[in-house]
Structure formats: structure tokens, C-alpha cells
Amino acid sequence: MFILDQGARFVIPRTEMTYPAHSIKLHQNAADPQKCPVDHVMADFEDACPYEFKGEKSRRVMVEALNTLDFGKKVVTIRPNNIHSKFFQGDLEAVVLGAPNRFHGIILPKTRGPEEVQTTAKMLDDLERRGGWHYQLQIESLVETPQALIKAYDIATASERMCGLIFGIADFAANLGVREIVENQNQNFHYAKQAMVVAAKAAGLHAIDNVFLRLWRREDSSDRVSELQRGLREKNIGAANLGMDGTWVIHPQQAPICNECYTPSTEQVEEARRVIRLYHERGGGSMADPKTGEMIDEATIKIVLMDLAKGAQAGMVPQAELREWAEKSKSITGYDILEIMRRVA
């Protein structure tokens, strides 16, 4: 999770929008709450940045955007060129020294192993000291290669700065020699996606799914738009069912559907409240739900708690209520799943 505002706020992003860092217009759109209703924006120096803008041109635009635009409550991160690129060090120095206390984290692309996270963290230690930062930048690492997947837990635990892992499907597929990365991706990449989720959750980090690469255009028929929206929804519902907390998006048009896929509905939140209330009123243990006939026990109540935690992130459940239910569970079991999984600050 992203710890913000000196620990007063935390965000587990449902939507992380990536966009090219060299365009001030795109920064303005990303900052706009109406045009871009996402939890997190990530300006990209790497894959989305044209060759001619790499280096000083894109860095100047990025620093200007960070120092002049109000991104509101969004998490703001920077994706530098990868650590093996000649641009990496310059990208980090430009933004960390040029915009102190104006953004929240670094997206580390093409991460191969924990040593790259550690090297980046040491660089940030020095740059934050020189730049007069009041807080510590956090790191999300992209899992984009088979090597990174095998080392995902080591990457996730490589630094106290780590807050999340992101699955990068395009580069991962290229490494495997797989061409199709849109259709049936949750089946074709099931192992890779859930292995990354397991590594992230074991380290108490959030897990973010890859982009859906198909966008609808103004000239598309209503049937075509519906087809693409259905594909976007199915992909993200499937990813949520694998344990992903959110997804990358590549255009604001994708945000409303994606936010919905990673947010419990009002009905689901009320059902979670009913079940946990019933469970504690009847003294715990194993019992049949009189409404549904399903069995409830302490283990299934943990699922309910996680649903309520997602509701709290979306502003649907007061933090005080969530803590009250978690404390009741902890008083019986001796542990708080929300603390272990870092679902609370």
C-alpha cells in the first residue's frame, strides 16, 4: 500500500494510469479529477516515451508538471527508464532533486532481482537527503520477466520502500515467446499472475494487474464498444478473483469499469456486515447461515473482513467500524489479518 500524508492516509490502488511523461497536456489531463478518475497516475519515461524526448526534454516537462499541477488525492509516481539504461540515473536525479515532496513513488521497470531494488533505494536515500525530502519515496516493481517472477518474493522484500508488485504482460509474454496477450489472458497467464499475487501478499504488498490493450474509438459502433467494454470487465473481474488489488489502465475511458471491478458493491458490503454481525452475535464457531445455508466459520469471516477493507478503501465503510470488527476477530484468533496483509495503515 502507499502510505501518504505522514501516515495519515493509505491507498491500495484500484486503477493506476500510465501515460507518456514528455507531454504537458497529458500531465494536465492526468491531474484532472473529472477527465481522469483513477486512484494513481504514473508518468512514463520508458516504453511510452519517444526516443527524441528521452533525457532532458522529458525530464524538464516532468519537473514542470510536478511543480505546477495539483493532482489532488491521487497517488503520483514516476517510471524512469530501466536501471540498465543510460537514462536511469539522470531520470531519478532530475525528478527527485527537481520536485522534492511533490510525488509519492518510483515504478521500477524490468526488475530482474532484489539487488536492483536495493540499488535504487540507496540512490533514493542520497537524493532525498540532497533534495530536502520530508518523507520517503516508495517503490513498485514491475514483474516483466521469468527471472523476476521466480524472484518475486525476494524483490517484494528487498527494501522497506517496497509497496507493490505489478504484472507486465507484454514483456513477460515476449520472454516466453507468446504472441496473444489479450484473449484468455487470465487462463494463459494464470500461473504467472497468481504467483506474483502470492509473492506480493506474502510480503504485505498490493498486487496490480496488467493493462488491457484494446481501446474503443469515437467511430466504433455501439456493438464494438460494448464488446470491448465487456472484455475489459471480464479481464479485470478475473484478475480480481486471482487476488489482484487493481490494474494498470492506459486511457481514462477504462477507469470507471476498472474501479468498479475492484470495489465491492453496496449490496456486497451490506451482506458482509450482515454475515459478520450474525457470526459474532451467535458466538462464533461453525454455523449455517440461515439466509443462504452456507457454512460460516472463523476462516470465512476473514474473507468478509477483506471485503470490508476494500469497502473502506472506497469510502463505503468507516475505518472505525473496520477496526472494531478486526479487533473482535483478533481477540479470538490472536492475530489481525488486516494488519498482516497491510490492509490498514
- 176 and 218 fall within a common domain: yes
In this prediction, residue 342 has a pLDDT band, given cuts at 50, 70 and 90, of confident
| Structural domain boundaries, residue 286 | 266-340
Among 226, 261, 296, give the residue marking a domain's end: 261
pLDDT, average across residues 61-84: 97
In this prediction, residue 291 has a pLDDT band, given cuts at 50, 70 and 90, of very high
The answer to the question of residue 63 being in a domain is yes
Instruction: Tell me which H or E stretch contains 15.
Output: strand 15-20
- 306 and 232 fall within a common domain: no
pLDDT, average across residues 68-87: 97
> Cβ distance 171 to 210 under 8 Å?
no
Start-to-end CA span in the chain (Å): 8
pLDDT, average across residues 207-230: 96
- What span, in angstroms and rounded, lies between the C-alpha atoms of 244 and 83? 26
- 191 and 283 fall within a common domain: no
- 205 and 86 fall within a common domain: yes
Per-residue pLDDT, 332: 86
Chain-wide mean pLDDT for the chain? 95
182 pLDDT above the threshold of 80 = yes
pLDDT > 70: percent of the chain: 100
Provide the b/e sequence for 42-80 (b: ≥16 CB within 10 Å). Answer: bbbbbebbeeebbbeebbebbbebbeebebeebbbbbbb
In degrees and rounded to multiples of 5, residue 40 shows phi and psi of -155, 135
- Give Cα 34 distance to the centre of its chain: 20
The answer to the question of residue 345 being in a domain is no
- What span, in angstroms and rounded, lies between the C-alpha atoms of 209 and 189? 11
227 pLDDT above the threshold of 80 = yes
Per-residue pLDDT, 335: 87
pLDDT, average across residues 218-246: 97
- What span, in angstroms and rounded, lies between the C-alpha atoms of 21 and 133? 22
Among 235, 261, 287, give the residue marking a domain's end: 261
> Cβ distance 78 to 91 under 8 Å?
yes
Per-residue pLDDT, 96: 98
- 88 and 47 fall within a common domain: yes
The answer to the question of residue 203 being in a domain is yes
345 pLDDT above the threshold of 80 = no
| pTM for the full predicted model | 0.93
In this prediction, residue 343 has a pLDDT band, given cuts at 50, 70 and 90, of confident
pLDDT, average across residues 311-318: 91
> What confidence tens digit (pLDDT) does each residue in 89-130 have?
999 999 999 999 999 999 999 999 999 999 999 999 999 999
- 237 and 276 fall within a common domain: no
Long-range contacts of 267-276 (CB under 8 A, 24+ apart): 268/307, 268/311, 269/307, 269/308, 269/311, 269/316, 269/317, 272/304, 272/307, 272/308, 272/311, 273/308, 275/301, 275/304, 276/301, 276/304, 276/305, 276/308, 276/325
- 242 and 305 fall within a common domain: no
> What confidence tens digit (pLDDT) does each residue in 252-261 have?
999 999 999 9
Angle between helices 88-98 and 114-131 (to 10 degrees): 40
- What span, in angstroms and rounded, lies between the C-alpha atoms of 38 and 17? 7
- 221 and 287 fall within a common domain: no
